Amino acid sequence: MDKLLRTLETRGFAPKTLATDDIQTENYCSNALLLWLYIVAKNPFDLMKFDEDQTSNLTMKRIVNVTQDFLKSSLTAVRFSAALILSHVVTRSDGVDKLLAPTISMCIQRIQNDLTTDFMDQNELCGRLILLSAILKSAQRTDVVVYAPKMFEAIQQFAELKSSNNVVNHLVAKLYQRIGLLYLKPKVAKWRYSRGYRSIADNLSASQPVQSSSVKASPMEKAIWRRSSTCF
């Protein structure tokens, strides 16, 4: 983990001063490293186990800082990978209390700055919108519903979808949809898996015998039963 983070920290996203081929090479290498980081960050154990000081939470902070930089990349795949990692880390059970609120607040602040300043990088704007959409997809409803009004207000400037950047229009529409889903009444599907009991005896006693009289066989099934009965 430490070697991977140090490599990403030293690379950063490709600067615009490089040649076109060099920028593409740097972006593809960075995307591969980010995907590797996502696999490592997906482990179910507490990320503080990677820290020398178990109370510093340094590893998670380093992941947040390094992925924030890649949200400004010129390659869409890099921005998506960075947003995927960051949304997963800030919604983990060991990071949601400390990292979710600052991350959402920073995204909202950066998007609102675009209303007063026209020089915000379009790549960064897309990265912030991707990140908010990814957070709303992976986070618990109860954790993010309190931020829905602020996010809705922040993207009101793009409500008419008049931006010349089609990617921005697409991301704004997606973010509107996911904000709207937060306000829908939760509904548990009837076919949802039910765990039952740990004891076989309890499961057998709780199960209801199926009444055969309520189920009628079709003519095709009756024909199959008659044929199968003559085979033995």
Q: What is the pLDDT of residues 118-175, one digit of tens each?
A: 445 788 888 999 999 999 999 999 999 999 999 999 888 888 777 777 888 899 999 9
Average pLDDT over residues 184-212: 70
- Report d(CA 162, CA 167) in Å as an integer: 12
Contacts of 100 (CB under 8 A, 6+ apart): 90, 91, 135, 139, 143, 144
Nearest alpha-carbon partner for 104 in 66, 76, 145: 145
Over residues 61-98, the pLDDT tens digits come to 888 888 888 888 888 888 999 999 999 999 988 888 88
Residue with the two structure tokens 């548990």? 188
Angle, CA 145 vertex, CA 89 and CA 80 arms, to 5°: 40
**Cα gap 114→39, rounded to integer Å:** 33
Residue 104 confidence (pLDDT)? 93
Q: What is the pLDDT of residue 94?
A: 82
